[in-house]
Amino acid sequence: MPASPANDPTLHSWIDIRPTEDFPIQNLPFGVISTPERGPRLAVAIGGYALDLYACAQRGYFDSIAEDVPALGAALPKVFRRRSLNAFLRLGRPAWRAVREAASALLRHDNPTLRDDEEAVRDCLLRQRDVDLLRPVKPANYTDFYSSLEHATNVGKLFRPDNPLLPNWRHLPVAYHGRASSIVVSGTAIRRPQGQYRPAGQEAPVFGPSQQLDFELETAFVVGKTTALGETVPIDQAEDHIFGLLLFNDWSARDIQSWEYQPLGPFLGKSFASSVSPWVVTLDALEPFRVAGPGQEPLPLPYLQMPGEQHFDIQLEMLLLPAGSTVAPLVLSHTSTSYLYWSMAQQLTHHTSNGCPLVAGDLCASGTISGPTPGSLGCLLELTLGGTQPLRLPNDLNLTYLQDGDTVILRGYAEKNGLRIGLGEVSGTVLPAAG
């Protein structure tokens, strides 16, 4: 697919945006905003602002693309007055691309249409800090992969020092089906879960608040296209089914997880909450940041083989703001999506290889992303070797697992040749277990 003109690195906007901000005109990620007066609207982020797509459509700014993309024309303007991106996703890639390009044209420095109309600017452009940023999609399903070789090896070593990687791992992207019902947007407080676990050295399990609450540094892709029961997606078409990427924190209760997971995998140690960032960065916007990835040995089976650059280099940082802290958040981990062994295209193709339908709005998370160095480990289970070696932080702070009141923040951005595309952030604060 040819590069979108909205990616032109020389573009700049009439809105003032610093080079270190996440949302320059080359990004334009999609999300859902809400105010008490307007209710929910679809929007794209530009600098510190949100461009209200419903307001733009009502002013006729999308009339010309509505002619070019009939599915979009039939859905305007109502498709932008929704509580999630789902209906917009179902319009397909030509509609996603046309709207991003029309928004880009409206916002570029030399287009007076919106720029010089003060009343329209007040109507269409809202400060992000003045609106609620809602969960961008309503996922019917959520799948969590396990696609980082370093993470799978490190976790495997904790349980099986001699044989960390199971025999299937290099042949298929391992995953489990999670719960879509507990996926929350950034800023939602996370209640420490209660559950059954077996304290170290004891025979019998107990029930109570988890003592080993952890985060998992992940990204997730948003499925853009619904497939039919029995339909499979060939790997060279897989990316047409992917709308974009967001940041994902897969909160995990390690004590509950380690007691319950055999033989059928993660269950209540995971399903109490996962947090997502509010803005979905499109694959179009990420196009300049493609990389080859780590290489696969042995070669996967033919249905999972795909030449070329199938990975993206997105820098990811996990930060901790300890309970009661007034200092700046502490960086716990810095890693990159380029370390992932399995690509999103491989994950999607494998997911549909048995004919199981995907639904537009579904989320597929990467699994914890760890790199090869101690500073690039994506969860406390790894950073503290199963809780046995506390992290020493500034101010005499020792960290094993999360405490009530701790805030965890995940940030992500891609940067190349002076162009920076951010994913924004996802944060959550731990609340005490229910009384």
Q: 148 and 335 in contact (C-beta within 8 Å)?
A: no
- How far, in Å, CA of 10 to CA of 429, rounded? 39
> Which residues are paired to 195 by β-bridges?
208
Q: What are phi and psi of 369, to 5 degrees?
A: -105, 110
Query: Which residues 202-241 are close enough to bind Mn ion by CB under 5 A?
Result: 216
Clarify whether 334 is annotated catalytic: no
Q: What is the DSSP string of 230-245?
A: T----GGGGGGGEEEE
* Shortest CB 221 distance to Mn ion, Å: 14
In angstroms, what is the minimal distance from the CB of 216 to Mn ion? 4
Q: How far is the CB of 152 from Mn ion (least distance, A)?
A: 11
Partners of 336 in the β-ladder = 315
**Residue matched to tokens 């997606």:** 233
Instruction: Choose the stretch contacting Mn ion; rule: CB under 5 A; options: 245-253, 278-286, 291-299, 391-399.
Output: 245-253
**C-alpha pair distances (Å), 210 with each of 190, 217, 403:** 13, 19, 10
Q: What is the DSSP string of 267-284?
A: -TTTTT-EEE-S-BEEHH
Closest to 273 (Cα-Cα) out of 232, 214, 329: 214
> Distance of CA 3 to CAs 7, 56, 94, 97, Å?
7, 25, 13, 11
Letters for 133-172 (x = contact with Mn ion by CB under 5 A, - = none) are: -----------x----------------------------
Phi, psi of 105 (to 5 degrees): -60, -40
CB nearer to Mn ion: pick between 250 and 362: 250
Residue in 1, 8, 53 with CA at minimum distance from that of residue 27:
8
* Measured distance CA(427)–CA(319) in Å, rounded: 9
For Mn ion, which residue of 52, 150, 214, 250 counts as binding (CB under 5 A)? 250
**Is-contact 431 404, C-beta < 8 A?**
yes
Closest CA to 259 of 272, 270, 245, 269: 269
Contacts with 402 (C-beta within 8 Å, 6 or more apart), sequence order:
213, 214, 215, 380, 408, 430
What one-character DSSP code corresponds to residue 5?
G
Q: With beta carbons less than 8 A apart as the criterion, state whether 31 and 246 touch.
A: no
Instruction: Give the contacts of 334 (CB within 8 A, at least 6 positions apart).
Output: 315, 316, 317, 318, 375, 376
Q: Which of 122, 359, 129, 335 is nearest to 247 (CA)?
A: 335
Which residues in this chain contact Mn ion in the complex, by CB under 5 A?
144, 216, 250
- Supply the residues annotated as catalytic: 151
